Structure 1
Amino acid sequence: MKLVYKNVDREGGGDIGLIPEEPEDMWHAYNLISEGDSVRASTVRKVQTESTTGSSSSSRVRTMLTISVENIDFDTQACMLRLKGRNIEENQYVKMGAYHTLDLELNRKFSLRKPEWDSVALERVDMACDPTQSADVAAIIMQDGLAHVCLITSSMTLVRAKIDVSIPRKRKGFVQQHEKGLAKFYDTVIQAILRHINFDVVKCVLVASPGFVRDQFFDYMIQMAIKTDNKVLLENRSKFMLVHSSSGFKHSLQEILQDTGVISKIADTKAAGEVKVLDAFYTTLQCEPAKAFYGKRHVEKASAAQAIETLLITDSLFRCSNVPLRKEYVQLVDSVREAGGDVKIFSSMHLSGEQLEQLTGVAAILRFPMPELDEDSDESDTEE
């Protein structure tokens, strides 16, 4: 998703201009647009004109239209988003208040205005527009003197840096020149890794090369990290995976991603991370039931006591048409984060998100046991 402009005032109102560039961006748009928002985009309208002789002809014209959204239809197979609502701005082809549908299209700008942009919606915009927020896997494809640093999201691969350094050949009596050139090349690659890879998000870094280049580079990187006390590289060294590739060019990425060992390692990305958290919740629910709760009422009480260590919540709850209810969920997310808790927003398009929806869509793993929450539910059951 490309961010064109962002006009959000201190009160949280305003509009944001976006261009969807990938089918996946339509999913982000679906999660951003709510009933009552206004969307401005270009659309095709059939217009009938009557000549002086009385004969009529129809033509299709493209026009900019702003509608107040009343209905949102998302086709998951075609990744298409269709919005229906009333026209709220003067237009020469469409009357004020007339119903119209808008189809959001790839590579075509649309503007979204909300009465209030909450923290979850703004976070979704940042995630959609910054591929580093969703890129779970990074890859460094290299050979002597050439390296590509790439980020791999669920739908695209981005080359963030290309490093091309000429390394003098090994010649009798001139070995130092070769080693200096090699060290300069490795240093440049390390700087590119630190600049472009967000280790808070990335779960796996593939280092691929023909021969022993990857092994020599990795050994050099760890030695330099120890020498300079680079905690980022030292703490994340387990995320690096050394694999074979036929060259240091970008097209070698395809063969790397087909490697069975790489596939199993890449499985530990965002979707698999959600499964892990859900498993941890089920395990806690079985072994320590006073530290795991689900349902809005129980989770809100635990949040009020600042007891939540991890909050599990599905993105479908932020798409509800009930605005006050949506605000309550946003406040829950904000309060857990303010208390130092971790928030995992599950995608309802993944199996783990569907499972969480069966548990009311909101659950929590607590820092300490709260058996009184169980007692509360027992009391409410007896009262009923």
Structure 2
Amino acid sequence: MKLIAKNVDKGMQGSVALVPEEPEDMWHAYNLISEDDYVRSTTIRKVQNETATGSSSSSRVRTTLTICVESIDFDTQACVLRLKGRNREENQYVKMGAYHTLDLELNRKFELTKREWDTIALERVDMACDVTQNADLGAVIMQEGLAHVCLITSSMTLVRSKIDMNIPRKRKNNAKGHEVGLTKFYEAVLQSILRHINFDVVKCVLIASPGFVKDQFFEYLNQQAVKTDNKVLLENRSKFLLVHASSGFKHSLKEVLQDPAVQSKLSDTKAASEVKALEQFYQILQTEPARAFYGKNHVVKAAEALAIETLLISDNLFRCNDVNVRKEYVKLVEDVRDAGGEVKIFSSMHISGQQLAQLSGIAAILRFPMPELEDEDETEDNDTQDSDSDN
């Protein structure tokens, strides 16, 4: 994301002008823009023209509009953010108050004005405009006949290509057919890697599969690299890491990222640190349940007691339409940081973020046990049972 201008005063009011340059930038924009924000950008409008003879014709004109956002739709496939709202500035083609849809696209500048910026939104701007935050991990999750080529960025897991091919079964009378099918499949996966993975940016490419599929594919990749003298593959062979996965489906990526060998290789990436934090939370939940809690009420009470060592929170919660609820989560993050705690904001488009969503989207690892929070659960359960028995 390119930052064109940033005018936010001490009162946290003002605007920023941005240009999305990468697909992930559209995800950042989706997280930044909320209902009731003002967005200004160029758009195409259909205009009716009436001639002197009374006949009419229509034409499409490019104009600049400022709308007050009422609804937001993110099309991840087309990489387009659609904002619907009413026009809030005088325009020769669009009446004040008329509805219009702005399509924010790659390389199209937009200006975002908020009534009040908060620290989370400003952090998102800084993170989006940091060039070091680009996708630095590639992954190929595969089994015979099925492969997913993915890019894992600091915020999301992008499936860039899915290869699904029918491979004849290996039989005594059809061994050649099986080999030919497998070779075609491996070639399709190889071409997808070359097309979608930028080795100038990516630090590591995971190749994961059940059984020996990954080993056979990597052997094929090396043979083809030598045969075709492919300098990109030959110079980047050390970036490939072979690991086990239970299947070739995308959900297997979660277990791959939890592999200790993978985590040591990716220790400097945000994706790995999120997975590690979530694993640590689950481990403490099992061994010291009084030091691990999830759900808003428990986490807020732990924060009030200055007990939170690590806060795990989904970015989904900051997209809440209720401004007061959003402010509560922003205050929680600020309070934890002020008390010396660490805050990890998980992306809901990332595997680890989807896992956190199953725990209500918010969890905390505490510095010290708070068994009284566990007791509250029991008290609430008993109160519920008593009220049920009364009925």
- TM over 0.5: same fold? yes
> 1:316 is matched with which residue?
316
Equivalent residue runs for 1:114-153 within 5 Å: 114-133=114-133
> 1:196 is matched with which residue?
none
The residue identity in structure 1 corresponding to 2:153 is: S
Equivalent residue runs for 1:44-123 within 5 Å: 44-123=44-123
Change (3 A) 1:360 1:99: same
CA distance in 2, matches of 1:350, 1:49: 48
The residue identity in structure 2 corresponding to 1:104 is: L
Greater shift, 71-80 or 114-123, is seen at: 71-80
> 1:21 is matched with which residue?
21
- Counterpart secondary structure, 1:260: strand
Change (3 A) 1:305 1:255: same
CA distance in 1, matches of 2:236, 2:203: 16
> 1:34 is matched with which residue?
34
CA distance in 2, matches of 1:64, 1:117: 24
> 1:259 is matched with which residue?
240
Unaligned segments of structure 1, at least 5 residues: 138-151, 156-203, 207-245
* CA offsets 1:339-364 (integer angstroms, 9 cap, x no match): 11110100101121111111110000
> 1:369 is matched with which residue?
369
Report how far residue 136 of structure 1 moved: 5.8
The residue identity in structure 2 corresponding to 1:32 is: L
Report how far residue 26 of structure 1 moved: 0.1
* CA offsets 1:232-255 (integer angstroms, 9 cap, x no match): xxxxxxxxxxxxxx9xxx957962
Change (3 A) 1:69 1:253: farther
Aligned residues: 281
8 A Cα contact 1:7 1:16, kept in partner: yes
- Counterpart secondary structure, 2:344: strand
Unaligned segments of structure 2, at least 5 residues: 138-150, 155-201, 205-225, 244-260, 385-391
Equivalent residue runs for 1:117-196 within 5 Å: 117-133=117-133, 154=153
Change (3 A) 1:305 1:19: same
CA distance in 1, matches of 2:329, 2:309: 17
CA distance in 2, matches of 1:347, 1:36: 23
CA distance in 2, matches of 1:76, 1:7: 29
8 A Cα contact 2:38 2:68, kept in partner: yes
8 A Cα contact 1:127 1:134, kept in partner: no
8 A Cα contact 1:48 1:59, kept in partner: yes
CA distance in 2, matches of 1:42, 1:254: 43
Equivalent residue runs for 1:223-372 within 5 Å: 255-256=236-237, 258-260=239-241, 264=262, 266-268=265-267, 269-372=269-372
Report how far residue 258 of structure 1 moved: 4.9
* CA offsets 1:144-195 (integer angstroms, 9 cap, x no match): xxxxxxxx9839xxxxxxxxxxxxxxxxxxxxxxxxxxxxxxxxxxxxxxxx
Change (3 A) 1:379 1:254: farther
* TM-score (ref. length: structure 2): 0.67
> 1:199 is matched with which residue?
none
Report how far residue 113 of structure 1 moved: 0.4
8 A Cα contact 2:153 2:271, kept in partner: no
CA distance in 1, matches of 2:203, 2:50: 65
Report how far residue 70 of structure 1 moved: 0.6
Report how far residue 380 of structure 1 moved: 2.7
Change (3 A) 1:291 1:310: same
CA distance in 2, matches of 1:259, 1:24: 23
CA distance in 2, matches of 1:306, 1:348: 27
> 1:12 is matched with which residue?
12
Report how far residue 291 of structure 1 moved: 0.1
Change (3 A) 1:254 1:94: farther
- Counterpart secondary structure, 2:82: strand
* CA offsets 1:82-112 (integer angstroms, 9 cap, x no match): 0001111111101111110000011111000
Report how far residue 14 of structure 1 moved: 0.7
Report how far residue 78 of structure 1 moved: 2.2
Report how far residue 57 of structure 1 moved: 1.1
8 A Cα contact 1:118 1:330, kept in partner: yes
> 1:163 is matched with which residue?
none
- Counterpart secondary structure, 2:236: helix
* CA offsets 1:308-365 (integer angstroms, 9 cap, x no match): 0000000000011011000000000000011111101001011211111111100000
> 1:225 is matched with which residue?
none
> 2:248 is matched with which residue?
none
The residue identity in structure 2 corresponding to 1:154 is: T
CA distance in 2, matches of 1:16, 1:103: 18
Report how far residue 383 of structure 1 moved: 3.0
* TM-score (ref. length: structure 1): 0.68
